[in-house]
Structure 1
Amino acid sequence: MNMLVISPFEAEKLYSRIRALNKVALHLYNPRWNSGFRSLDRLDFFTIPHQPQATLHPRLIAQLNLFSGQLDINSYEDFKYMCAYLGLATETAPEGWEVVADGFILRDDQDRLGGTASRLTKSPVKFLQTLMAIRRDGESLC
């Protein structure tokens, strides 16, 4: 399954074309700003055309939530996946690892930058702080 994120403006322009296609669906999504709101990340709230609940890989959902600015993480497994995806340590660095103050793994025990799962070559923390501030209308997270 592939996912393409579009703006409400783009969705409105493509609406009639999407309704005519049987292999494409339009899902309403909004990040959950706090745990008092219902999570829309199952993409089952408003779907055009109506479909049974979408089956999305949990990692795709975690990435969607991360880049939408959602800070409410669904599970510890999602937290660990996002840290690995971003090259961030989730615990005290084992011997032989080099981790900077923001948690980015400079070198693991096999000399890999960002650890085993990340393809990043530098810390994403500053970028994520800026992204989250933009997604939250300039509200600082620091």
Structure 2
Amino acid sequence: MSGEELLLKEDTEDPSLSGQEAQLDMIRHTCREFSLVTFREVTLQEMQECELSPENEREQEVENPPPLEPQEHSVDRDVRHFIKKGILDRSSIAFRSVFESLSSTSAFTSFERNGWLGCLLVTTDFARTVQAPKGQVLDSYIRPVQWIASCGEGVQGHYVILSPYEVNELLPSIQQHRAVNLHVYSPRTNVSSCLLEDLHFCAVLKGSIAPPPSLVMHLNIFAGQLYWRTYDDYVSLCRFLGLCHSPPDRGVDIASDGFINPGHRAKYDLKMWSECCFSQSPVAFLRALMALRRRGQVTDRSHIGMLLNGIQVDEQHFRTLRQT
């Protein structure tokens, strides 16, 4: 036993330690506190390293957007007329295209207006959320989609996204006049979520409703939906956007993000050739839009995430999802 280890013994009789009982008791107490029973070099070094090793602490810090004054709510008279009569004046400033409502966001810089249809509108009260200087980027202030008013059938129908304030103000009128339908909607952001894109969930209906596929597609994209119902819906989306959905034949010009060269669409897919109006890839715009809608959420493994990363989703993937 080494001389240092003799210090741990209560009955040590070393004459050189006479008169230092208080210090010895303190040393023994500290050794017992740290379960130290030996002074062998390796063990002591390990304990010293353990004591000195820094503890990494991670604290998540949420970066909130700068405070701005909220926009004062109002219900335009043309919106009231639409609710009461089911007649929509598309020339009114009370309505605008859904993607035009993103004009104050960073995503709008890569927006190609001619590629999108004008089948889905929003009200001005829905689009305007805060008071901000002209030109300020308002990425953090876009409103989620929750309420939709509709009238008419098929592609001739009118579909307008309303703000929660407008719905609260107009609900008695909707129930009284029965000129429009009111729908509750939420995008599908995980596999287990229910699909509400048929617009029947908790709806106030004046009659049967069957939204056209083109309307549903625009609604899902604008709202930030991550998962599609079927493989056919996925292929239809790819055709509309001009993106590759299956291995191409030799000679078809495809960009790294999956965008089919407009001059090669007829060779790749005749339906894509007739349906897609994009002259440049919409991937940059859609990535920016999904980043705004799903802020902080990892989307790479979702249907839309794989599509925007140039990864083809096969039919077997959708079969597997239906079985889970």
Name the TM-score, length of structure 2 as normaliser: 0.39
The structure with the largest alpha-carbon Rg is: 2
Corresponding position: 1:103 with 2:261? no
Moved more, 52-61 or 19-28: 52-61
Per-residue deviation, 1:92: 2.1
Contact kept in structure 1, 2:195 and 2:229, CA below 8 Å: no
Contact kept in structure 2, 1:59 and 1:78, CA below 8 Å: no
C-alpha distance in 1 between matches for 2:259 and 2:216 = 22
Alignment partner, residue 203 of structure 2: 47
Per-residue deviation, 1:58: 3.0
Alignment partner, residue 293 of structure 2: 135
Alignment partner, residue 246 of structure 2: 91
Residues 53 and 44 of structure 1: CA distance in aligned 2, closer, same or farther (over 3 Å): farther
| Number of residue equivalences | 139
Per-residue deviation, 1:109: 5.6
Alignment partner, residue 8 of structure 1: 164
Per-residue deviation, 1:47: 1.5
Contact kept in structure 2, 1:86 and 1:118, CA below 8 Å: yes
Residues 109 and 82 of structure 1: CA distance in aligned 2, closer, same or farther (over 3 Å): closer
Corresponding position: 1:80 with 2:80? no
Secondary structure of the equivalent of 2:199?
coil
Q: C-alpha offsets along residues 62-108 of structure 1, whole Å, 9 cap, x if unaligned? A: 33222211111100110010001111111122234211010111131
C-alpha distance in 1 between matches for 2:296 and 2:222 = 15
Structure 2 letter corresponding to 1:57 = P
Moved more, 5-14 or 114-123: 5-14
Residues 109 and 126 of structure 1: CA distance in aligned 2, closer, same or farther (over 3 Å): closer
Identity %: 32
C-alpha distance in 2 between matches for 1:136 and 1:8 = 20
Structure 2 letter corresponding to 1:43 = L
Secondary structure of the equivalent of 1:116?
helix
1:120 to 269, 273, 278: 278
Give structure 1 stretches of 5+ with no counterpart.
none
Structure 1 letter corresponding to 2:288 = T
C-alpha distance in 1 between matches for 2:163 and 2:249 = 42
C-alpha distance in 1 between matches for 2:299 and 2:171 = 35
C-alpha distance in 1 between matches for 2:228 and 2:178 = 32
C-alpha distance in 1 between matches for 2:283 and 2:210 = 30
C-alpha distance in 2 between matches for 1:134 and 1:45 = 26
Q: Structure 1 segments of 4 or more deviating over 3 A? A: 50-53, 138-142
Alignment partner, residue 20 of structure 1: 176
C-alpha distance in 2 between matches for 1:17 and 1:68 = 26
Moved more, 54-63 or 125-134: 54-63
Secondary structure of the equivalent of 1:98?
coil
Q: Which has the higher helix share?
A: 2
Structure 2 letter corresponding to 1:108 = H
Name the TM-score, length of structure 1 as normaliser: 0.81
Secondary structure of the equivalent of 2:275?
coil
